[in-house]
């Protein structure tokens, strides 16, 4: 029987589909309530301090013994051998060179197990491409190279990303070194001012990663790989990103009734969210947004928000466009 026929049979078998879903749900419950997940919870509950650095130390200790990873992989392999339609009950994290599973999620830290493909890395490095960027995640990250694959990593630093970050003061990034990585090596990278790039690998890398969201910078930042200058940034907070998306949607829908609600977001703690909200208010009703723009130009605590607001005011000049216009 060919695979297509097997799949067709399974899709027509409601009872079989329910068995598959029950296996997925059962694995998720066993993992969530099992000793490994409880250990993760206990580690976070017993931190000496609620800081990113304390979590990084705890994750480094956790990653020193990877028998829990072997147990997880063996359990998944057994479930897949029993039912080829079983799907691991974890969120997938992927990029053009990496595929993994988020096996633990907490408001302070998430843990993933994944593989970086050597062939994908080689294709990315050797294929035709223009200027690339060096990215700083804004998060403290702990990496355990369970299988290093003969990889070489370059390391980079840039001015620290904090609440006062500005494009004008972003400076440049600098390469601080390059070296081979050993099997089992643990590397801690403070993405608030450090990053790494996998320059080459002879085989696939198996990597554990703890991404620490506690005390993260408000922004992730990218620098040009050639000139090393700042090229852009984005929010690290899901909440900030959602506010930006929702306010843009409301403006595109021309939903004037949302104007007072959006105005309330001008008090958001992140300057880039305040400026994004201000732009959407201007798009909804320029005349009504003018007093808020003037206040931002005069009193916003962040220099780039004030500068942007003043620039818009100067462009308007004495004539402020109205909604009707």
Query: With contact defined as beta carbons under 8 Å apart, do 178 and 155 qualify?
Result: yes
User: Topology of domain 14-235, per CATH?
Assistant: Jelly Rolls (2.60.120)
What pLDDT score does 204 carry?
94
What pLDDT score does 164 carry?
86
What pLDDT score does 2 carry?
52
What pLDDT score does 7 carry?
78
Domain boundaries, the chain: 14-235, 238-316
Average pLDDT, 10 consecutive residues per value, the chain (325 residues): 71 87 95 93 93 96 92 93 93 89 95 90 67 90 96 96 88 96 96 95 95 94 93 88 92 90 92 93 92 94 91 77 47
């Amino acid at each position: 029987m060919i695979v297509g026929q097997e799949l067709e049979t399974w899709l027509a078998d409601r009872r079989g589909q329910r068995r598959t879903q029950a296996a997925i749900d059962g694995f998720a419950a066993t993992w969530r309530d099992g000793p490994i997940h409880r250990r993760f919870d206990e580690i976070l509950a017993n931190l000496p301090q609620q800081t990113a650095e304390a979590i990084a130390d705890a994750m480094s200790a956790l990653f020193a013994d990877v028998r829990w990873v072997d147990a997880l992989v063996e359990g998944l392999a057994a479930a897949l051998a029993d039912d080829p339609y079983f799907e691991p009950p974890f969120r997938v994290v992927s990029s053009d060179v990496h595929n993994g599973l988020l096996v633990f999620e907490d408001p302070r830290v998430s843990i993933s197990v994944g593989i970086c493909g050597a062939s994908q890395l080689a294709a990315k490095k050797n294929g035709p491409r223009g200027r690339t960027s060096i990215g700083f995640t804004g998060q403290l990250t702990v990496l355990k190279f369970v299988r290093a694959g003969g990889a070489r990593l370059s390391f980079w630093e840039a001015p620290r990303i904090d609440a006062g970050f500005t494009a004008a003061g972003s400076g440049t990034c600098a390469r601080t070194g390059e070296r081979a990585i050993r099997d089992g090596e643990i590397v801690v990278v403070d993405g608030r001012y450090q990053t790494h790039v996998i320059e080459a690998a002879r085989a696939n890398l198996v990597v554990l990663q703890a991404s620490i969201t506690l005390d993260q910078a408000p922004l992730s930042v990218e620098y040009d790989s050639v000139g090393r200058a700042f090229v852009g940034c984005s929010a690290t907070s899901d909440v900030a990103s959602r506010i930006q998306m929702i306010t843009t949607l409301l403006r595109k829908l021309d939903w004037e009734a949302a104007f007072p609600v959006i105005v309330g977001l001008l008090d958001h703690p992140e300057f880039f969210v305040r400026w994004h909200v201000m732009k959407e208010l201007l798009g909804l009703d320029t005349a009504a947004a003018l007093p808020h723009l003037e206040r931002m130009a005069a009193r916003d605590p962040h220099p780039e928000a004030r500068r942007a607001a003043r620039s818009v005011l100067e462009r308007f000049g004495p004539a402020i466009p109205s909604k009707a216009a």
